[in-house]
Amino acid sequence: MAIGSKELVPTELDTFDDEKLVDELKKAKEELFNLRFQSATGQLESHGRLRAVKRDIARIYTVIRERELGIRATPAPLEVPAKAAKKTSKKAAAAEAEAETKEEAE
């Protein structure tokens, strides 16, 4: 990667889901706005950061568009492990078992 932020490498962008990409895009646009404002008021210290943020925005847009076209694969959603499933109390489990046996009897 030539220029850009170190946390938004293209291989890392592949692991983000669509909502996370949109959030990163929103953050990058806000940063670009702030950098442009600093540049207009003469307070900008690093002009190279403007270029890096623009490239990050372009990378994010590219990943989003490639996913729309089917060129780049969308990451698979994470499955919730069975242990993390909602635990039921003994009373609730007994009531569920009773309801199941009632349905089978009918």
Q: What is the pLDDT of residue 6?
A: 73
Q: What is the pLDDT of residue 9?
A: 83
CA torsion angle 12 9 55 25 (round to 10): 30
- Say if 1 falls within a structural domain: no
- Say if 28 falls within a structural domain: yes
Total structural domains in the chain?
A: 1
Rounded Cα–Cα distance for residues 97 and 103 (Å): 10
Q: Domain span at residue 46?
A: 10-105
- Say if 40 falls within a structural domain: yes
> Domain containing 41 — which CATH number?
1.10.287.310
- Say if 3 falls within a structural domain: no
- Residue 37: pLDDT band (50, 70, 90) is very high
Residue 16 has pLDDT above 70, yes or no: yes
- Say if 63 falls within a structural domain: yes
Q: Please report, for residues 20, 37, 84, 98, 105, the alpha-carbon distance to residue 53 in angstroms, rounded to integers and kept in the order given.
A: 17, 14, 39, 60, 66
pTM over 0.95: no
Residue 1 has pLDDT above 50, yes or no: no
